[in-house]
Structure 1
Amino acid sequence: MTYFDECFESVIGHEGGYVNNPKDPGGETKYGISKRAYPSLDIKNLTLAEAKAIYRRDYWDRARCDELPRGVAFDVFDGAVNSGISQSIRWLQRSVGVADDGKVGPLTLAAVKSTDPKVIQARYNGQRLDFMTRLSTWDAFSRGWARRIAANLQRVGG
């Protein structure tokens, strides 16, 4: 089992089956894949294998998670699934003190390599939680989001 597979199993545990919550700006969602992000997909009939392929291609690979320390890769991946790839990368970049352009490049990777992963994770999850408390949907989703971040903090480094 690859580290991506392990992370996918953890992240999918936070995501559910099919929902169409009117309070969710993503609209129709299954396995964390939203109609808003993927308007041409048949969300209701999306398979877990299809979701995993999307997660790998559009989240894990785009964030270059294979090049990040293990725990940091998990947090960036989970944040990307939950709040979008660009936002997640911006949290990472702010956590290591580089310009937050939403793209992982050589400067971001160098800064990550020169920063203690546990420090990155603490900063990252702090920024993530602060961001979420400012969202208009915080009242509707706060309990689940806070529990998700708390679970991530409990696995720091892994």
Structure 2
Amino acid sequence: MVAANYSPALARILVHEGGYANHPKDPGGATMKGVTQRVYDAFRARSGLPKVSVRAISTAELETIYADQYGRAVRFDQLPIGLDYVVFDGAVHSGPAQSVKWLQRALQALGLYAGKIDGIPGNGTLAAVDRVTDVDALIARICDLRLAFLKALKTYATFGRGWRARVDQVGDAGQDWADGSVPADANLSYEPGMEVKAVVADAALPPAPIATPTIGAAGGGIAVAIEAARQQVLPFAGLSGLVDHVLFALTLAGSAVAIGGMAWGVYAQHRRSTVAAVLDLDQAAA
């Protein structure tokens, strides 16, 4: 990478990435300074080298991986100062394609981009970036999209505090650079969890309705069991007050479960649709 801002941007990212981590809830698995074991294995294989623990990664290997895997992948040296860092950091944390999708969505919201949200920083995306007149506003939109994405992941409850701090610090520093000032070190700190990878595969999607809109995932089995019991009691209706009361209770319970199942189905469909948009799953399916 040749952009003048690359080295200070990487230095800030490495602070957020910390050292070695292997949290059981981290979808990235074993990670050293932001490089996962999987990424390191692939790098070593391409270099004709045997696999070793990512804890043994050298500074030279680390810098090469960051430049090739993340910096060049998001066209760092073709982005305005400040925006380059924000997109770079998103690539390290959630993958280059996801970070570029946030950029594309933010450009789209500003009326500057009408292409596909495909995570590819092609000529259309870069041309839209060239038309940006307020990089501060663009960075703010990217950070809002990124935070919404993080909140839609199952692991947000565990790592959300660190992730929020990271997004806040990245956004502030990016806007400082964009305004022509150097970010202060006071706005740079590590918090546990901020290095944990945040990827779309960890999305918190509710179960889809299992049959019809009247029997949602929450009540399908119960509704079937209640209806079976009601059918068994039905032939004895009118024989005694107790039987009639039981039949009435089963009918009432079946109706309640059906209504609840319908409500769950509507909620689940709405939730899945909302989360799919935040995670760009709607684009993947298109």
Q: Could you state the TM-score of these two structures normalised by the residue count of structure 2?
A: 0.53
SS at match of 2:20: coil
Aligned match of 1:102:
119
1:112 and 2:123 matched: no
Aligned match of 2:37:
35
Amino acid at match of 1:136: K
Quick one: distance in 1 between partners of 2:67 and 2:39? 15
Amino acid at match of 1:52: E
Quick one: distance in 1 between partners of 2:64 and 2:157? 32
Quick one: distance in 1 between partners of 2:165 and 2:60? 26
**Which one of 103, 127, 143 corresponds to residue 161 of structure 2?**
143
Alignment CA distance shift 1:130-1:27 (3 Å): same
**Which one of 72, 75, 78 corresponds to residue 61 of structure 1?**
72
1:28–1:34 contact (8 Å) kept in structure 2? yes
The two structures, once aligned, show a CA RMSD in angstroms of 1.5
Quick one: distance in 2 between partners of 1:38 and 1:48? 13
SS at match of 1:70: coil
Quote the offset at 1:20 in angstroms: 1.2
Q: Percent identity over the alignment? A: 39
SS at match of 2:85: helix
1:80–1:86 contact (8 Å) kept in structure 2? yes
Give the structure with higher Rg (CA): 2
1:51 and 2:68 matched: no
1:90–1:102 contact (8 Å) kept in structure 2? yes
Aligned match of 1:11:
13
1:72–1:157 contact (8 Å) kept in structure 2? no
Amino acid at match of 2:26: D
1:26–1:37 contact (8 Å) kept in structure 2? no
1:81 and 2:98 matched: no
Quick one: distance in 2 between partners of 1:117 and 1:157? 10
**Which one of 145, 152, 157 corresponds to residue 170 of structure 2?**
152
Give unmatched runs, 5+ long, in structure 2. 45-51, 178-286
Quote the offset at 1:157 in angstroms: 4.2
1:31–1:48 contact (8 Å) kept in structure 2? no
Amino acid at match of 2:138: I
**Which one of 47, 72, 77 corresponds to residue 83 of structure 2?**
72
Quick one: distance in 1 between partners of 2:143 and 2:39? 23
1:70–1:157 contact (8 Å) kept in structure 2? no
Quick one: distance in 2 between partners of 1:37 and 1:127? 26
Greater displacement, 34-43 / 3-12: 34-43
Quick one: distance in 1 between partners of 2:168 and 2:117? 24
Q: Could you state the TM-score of these two structures normalised by the residue count of structure 1?
A: 0.94
